[in-house]
Amino acid sequence: MTRLYLRVFLTFWCITAVIIVTTNVIVHWRGDNPDNTLQQLRGGQEYEPAQRFLFQMAGSIVNRNSAQVLADMRAMPEWSRQYFYIVDSHNEDLLGRPLPEGVQYLIPKISPSHPFNKVVGDNHKTWGRHVTLNDGKSLKVFTISSGQGAKSSGDIVWQLFINNIWPLLLASILVSGTACFFLARHFAHGLSALQKATRSIAKGDLSVRISQRFNNRRDEIASLAHDFDHMTERLQRAMAEQKRLIKDVSHELRTPLARLQVALALAQQRSAGEVDRELARIKQAADYLNDVITDILALPVLDDGGWTLDDTTDVVALLRALDENLQPEAARSHIALLLQLPVEEALLATHGNMLYGVFDNVTRNALRYTPAGGSITTELTLTDAEYQIQIKDTGPGVPADQLSDIFQPFYRTDQARDRESGGYGLGLAIAQRTTALHGGHIVAENRPEGGLCVTICLPYEANGNTREA
């Protein structure tokens, strides 16, 4: 459940609940009922609370018989009975209560010919009305503007309203909440699918398509999904064409470059030392171009691309072989290479010798930036689901805002713009893509004590793939 889903749901529900409650309160407060409307059309004033309470009671009992009226009176809350009296033809209250002075005064003044009257006394009013029940019996209904221990008749009107309306309000709010729940889910479902697809594209998966999920919808979100698929399809095609172009151009450059190197070697043999300096610069540029083309052709593509993990390699053996090969170079730079391998063997599915290039590129990058007297530590850690290979150096590290960018092809940090010291920005990109093809990931972070730590995570099936050292 997303935050947008909750926000849409709660917003719709709160608005609906406020509308329901406010409408009922306003209707009650203003007394918007047919009797009051007719009274206003006749030019009358708005009803006072006790008068409105009288009309409500009269309208309620007019279609009942004597037994039903008595049962209704007994069913009303105890606190509300002090505000009304219903008197029979013997001028006695149906509940046998003593009658207040105002009620006693109005009893003889109310008759079928004078069905409505009131009296004012002691700063409150008593209202009375004659009612004929459906069984033919006549009753007199009285309401009092204030009761013993109460402030005004407005209290009882309001409290009876709340007492009667809250079940309806609760049911209305629950129904509206259910409707808002499904409406919010309907909206948020489409946006959630778009969000997941966008994240997949951000990770490099351009094969994501979502329009088929909205085949039953004809709204703007469905149109957005179709436009999204159209965009990703064109982007995937453009990326494929770009990769193919780079590969094709690199292949085409290798042949003339090889001829150039052969011609350069012949020129060096025949120069008799006259232009050796110029030829050496040409050779340096040609070697640099050859290295760039070689790494471009070695750069894996993040799709199927024929990279089937059909071989098995020993990660421990790869790290030891790499350490042995790089020891002479590290010794010339006065850098210590350290290995921390807790197991004797760690098997992993791979394709050919791809993983060797991952560790080689990361370690050589560390060698390039580690100063003399520093060290590079390669540590293998086993978890329940993956191998973690950490390559930690004591160099200057990388600016925090560039830690993720160093795995992009041809990207070099500001301190590595010189080709002589910074290379050409393909080694870590090759390591990142090769790791991804193994279902893993690679991250870089600065060490608190200084230097860079590159962590390569490679998943495996933990069933006999390791052997303790």
Residues tagged active-site: 251
Q: Which residues contact 61 (CB under 8 A, 6 or more apart)?
A: 68, 69, 72, 86, 131, 133, 139, 141
Give yes or no for a contact between 403 and 444, defined as CB atoms under 8 angstroms apart.
yes
Buried b (16+ CB within 10 A) or exposed e, 341-350: bebeebbbbb
Distance CA 54, CA 45 (A): 16
Give yes or no for a contact between 343 and 382, defined as CB atoms under 8 angstroms apart.
yes
Tokens of 268: 């060096």
Backbone angles phi, psi at 26, to 5 degrees: -65, -45
Rounded to whole angstroms, the maximal C-alpha distance in the chain is 145
Query: Residue ranges of the alpha helices (H) in 203-314?
Result: 220-270, 276-298
Buried b (16+ CB within 10 A) or exposed e, 377-395: bbbbeeeeebbebbbbbbb
Distance CA 453, CA 363 (A): 11
Distance CA 414, CA 293 (A): 23
CA angle 443, 447, 451 (to 5 degrees): 95
Q: Which residues contact 400 (CB under 8 A, 6 or more apart)?
A: 446
- Strand bridging mode 336-340 / 375-382: parallel
